[in-house]
Amino acid sequence: MTLLPQEIIRDKRDGRALAPEAIDAFVAGIGAGKVTEAQVAALAMAIFFQGMSMAERIALTRAMTHSGDVLSWRDLDLSGPVLDKHSTGGVGDTVSLMLAPMVAAAGGFVPMISGRGLGHTGGTLDKLESIPGYDATPSLDRLRRTVREVGCAIIGQTANLAPADKVIYGVRDVTATVESIPLLTSSILSKKLAAGLDGLVMDVKTGSGAFMPEFPRSKELAESIATVAAGAGLPTVALVTAMDQPLANAAGNAVEVRWAIDYLSGRHRQSRLHGVTMALAAELLVLGKLAPNLDQAQGKLERVLDNGRAAETFERMVVALGGPGDLMESPDKHLPRAPLIRPVLAAAAGTVTTIDTRAIGMSVVALGGGRTRSADPVDHAVGLTDLVMLGEAIERGQPLAMVHSRDEAGFDAAAAMIHAAITLDHGGALVGALVQARIAG
């Protein structure tokens, strides 16, 4: 068997399955500098068109996982399972900020490795970095100490976790191969396997604000992730959830942190966001054997919300990672606020029948709250609040959203996009189920 990069590319180009040894050699060659970016691009395009079997996907995921450090928690003698959740990304998707402390308060340990926003989707790290002093890229020692003492730590990918993924993803991003389901699967799971997890729940979005808007493709990705994760030894449940409208009626960075604080403190629990958060968190408790079934898991989660333990865990995590100790009590003292906050008013009466959720996300980008390139700076203060939801009856002159803007030009650009994204009509709105499929590995 030849293990030359060009022959491995040729085999996949011609539709042949790659042996695990060939996949291992190619990924190892990336780290050693023996495989060029041009060769990575060629193999990515070959995989895009020819696909990969489940066995190939498992082999690729394992090779990428072991391209760097693989965390182990055994020496910490933790009293519960190590669990995590990952989302394919959406708009107003604040779930991670609540789920991690909820699961930790219920007995799990959550080293959540999250990403930044790109395109129309928000990024958990960008949201957390709106908190003054919060260290989203701590040392390994600080991460382990925080997880042991607090129960959760939401951070970014370190340089030594699945480094081959960084190279492959960077190439995919500029070669129109991001949508490849085998490559998406290995990218997501290599980082999660490197985190040393005992269980994972995947939130695969579908609808107008999803990375893959069509349900069949979303379901295919969920099935691939659940199957490959199980094959690689990580118990996983994937839920396909609706992103046909923003999950919360806030989108941005600091505005979503405020939303999460209000949720954890009990000031509001919007039904859509609460429903998805509870569904994902309950799956984790069952996977981690912290509850015997989903009903009892949800009861346990409701208790840690109602008795304040989840809020306390979030506060302790923020402090442990360098943030202020009074963030929960005084968020406005610490979180940035935009200088211009103004409503976008409906031009006519009607019912909200459709929302182009991707366009809503892009309106946040237009305000400066997102990025189109990974190196772009982010304005943490800007965003949207009080967004209308599907099925709402709106009068002429009623706000469709409150825009938090840096200046008039930003407001005007966002307002135009919001008007175009929200359809008001006199019919009813078709609102899909929050959880549209469940796939267990």
Domain boundaries, the chain: 5-51, 74-330, 337-425
Domains 5-51 and 74-330 share a fold: no
Q: Which residues of the chain have pLDDT under 70?
A: 1-2, 117-119, 372-375
- The reply to whether 192 belongs to the active site is yes
Catalytic residue, chosen from 180, 187, 357, 405, is 187
- The reply to whether 172 belongs to the active site is yes
Catalytic residue, chosen from 57, 166, 191, 300, is 191
Q: Which long-range contacts (CB under 8 A, 24 or more apart) does 17-23 make?
A: 17/52, 17/53, 17/55, 17/56, 18/52, 18/56, 18/59, 20/55, 20/59, 20/63, 23/56, 23/59, 23/60, 23/63
- One CATH from 3.30.430.20, 3.40.50.1110, 3.40.50.720, 3.90.1170.30 for 337-425: 3.90.1170.30
Strand partners of residue 438: 239
Catalytic residue, chosen from 124, 130, 180, 363, is 124
* Confidence at residue 374, expressed as pLDDT on a 0 to 100 scale: 60
- The reply to whether 224 belongs to the active site is no
* Confidence at residue 117, expressed as pLDDT on a 0 to 100 scale: 67
Strand partners of residue 236: 200
* Confidence at residue 147, expressed as pLDDT on a 0 to 100 scale: 97
* Confidence at residue 120, expressed as pLDDT on a 0 to 100 scale: 77
- Each residue's pLDDT tens digit, 40-82: 999 999 999 999 999 999 999 999 999 999 999 999 999 999 9
Contact 320, 119 (CB under 8 A): no
| Residue that the structure tokens 């009293």 belong to | 79
- The reply to whether 114 belongs to the active site is no
Kindly report the pTM of this predicted structure.
0.92
- The reply to whether 363 belongs to the active site is no
* Confidence at residue 431, expressed as pLDDT on a 0 to 100 scale: 84
- The reply to whether 84 belongs to the active site is yes
Name the strand (E) or helix (H) holding 330: none
The CATH architecture one would assign to domain 74-330 is 3-Layer(aba) Sandwich (3.40)
* Confidence at residue 118, expressed as pLDDT on a 0 to 100 scale: 65
> Considering the domain 5-51 in this protein, what is its CATH number?
1.20.970.10
Catalytic residue, chosen from 87, 130, 146, 208, is 87
φ and ψ of 84, to 5 deg: -155, 165
Q: For residue 280, give the 3-state DSSP assignment.
A: helix
- The reply to whether 16 belongs to the active site is no
